[in-house]
Structure 1
Amino acid sequence: MLLRDIAHLRTGDKGDVSQISVIAFSTEDYALLESEVTVERLLDHLPNISVRHAHRYELPNLGALNFVLEGALTGGVTRSLALDAHGKSLGAQLLDLPVGDAQNLSVMDKAV
């Protein structure tokens, strides 16, 4: 399954910092988010961004994870030449992250 099957996102930005909140649709799925949506997996899934520091904050009472990506917006809205200087597309890309059994499939298995 993909992250979009069990969670939704909210994104925000301030200057050169992008924030992505991953919120489980169901409290039962929070444990899966907590174990599989790590900073490392997020950065591997978004290889085209350059991040100075990445932090993950866990909010179990909300069933959410909050990622703060410093330097992800190449200067921010007013300074970046990036097509999406706000970083909203980062959240849309993250929704395609495989979670659960799907992350263990090989590339060939996913193509079938």
Structure 2
Amino acid sequence: MKLREIAHSRTGDKGNTSNISVIAFNERDYELLRENLTASRVKEYFGDIVSGEVVRYELPTLAALNFVLFGALGGGVTRSLALDAHGKGLSSALLDFDLPQRQEII
């Protein structure tokens, strides 16, 4: 299952740092996000795009996770030669992350 099936994202960027929030559509899916969308998996998912650390913050009352990706924008929006140097492109890519199927409770 793709992350976009159970969550949406918001993003921001400052300098060479991108900030991506992943918000579950339904709070019942928060635990699935929390267990599977770790900082290390996000860093691995982006590979060489993120040269620095990835830090995850949990916001359970919002059913959301916030990731800060250091060294993610090719030097910063005004310095990068990347086609899309903004964090918006990264958040869209993250929504393609593969998650295990959630277990339905009958």
Instruction: State the TM-score, normalizing by the size of structure 1.
Output: 0.85
Unaligned runs of at least 5 residues, structure 2: none
Rounded Cα–Cα distance in structure 1 between residues aligned with 2:69 and 2:57: 11
With 62-71 and 78-87 compared, the bigger mean Cα shift is at: 78-87
Partner of 1:88: 88
Structure 1 letter corresponding to 2:78 = T
- Once the 2 structures are TM-superposed, how far is the Cα of residue 16 of structure 1 from its aligned partner? 0.6
- Once the 2 structures are TM-superposed, how far is the Cα of residue 44 of structure 1 from its aligned partner? 2.0
- Once the 2 structures are TM-superposed, how far is the Cα of residue 68 of structure 1 from its aligned partner? 0.2
Identity %: 58
Rounded Cα–Cα distance in structure 2 between residues aligned with 1:54 and 1:44: 10
Rounded Cα–Cα distance in structure 2 between residues aligned with 1:89 and 1:49: 12
With 59-68 and 90-99 compared, the bigger mean Cα shift is at: 90-99
Aligned to 1:46, what secondary structure does the other structure show? helix
Rounded Cα–Cα distance in structure 2 between residues aligned with 1:44 and 1:53: 11
CA RMSD after TM alignment = 1.4
Task: Answer yes or no: is 1:60 the counterpart of 2:60.
Answer: yes
Rounded Cα–Cα distance in structure 1 between residues aligned with 2:63 and 2:26: 8
- Once the 2 structures are TM-superposed, how far is the Cα of residue 93 of structure 1 from its aligned partner? 1.0
Aligned to 2:47, what secondary structure does the other structure show? coil
Per-residue CA deviations over 1:9-29 (Å, capped at 9, x if unaligned) read: 001101110010000000100
8 A contact 2:50–2:69 mirrored in 1: no
Rounded Cα–Cα distance in structure 2 between residues aligned with 1:10 and 1:40: 20
Alignment size in residue pairs = 102
Instruction: State the TM-score, normalizing by the size of structure 2.
Output: 0.89
8 A contact 2:40–2:54 mirrored in 1: no
8 A contact 2:2–2:96 mirrored in 1: yes
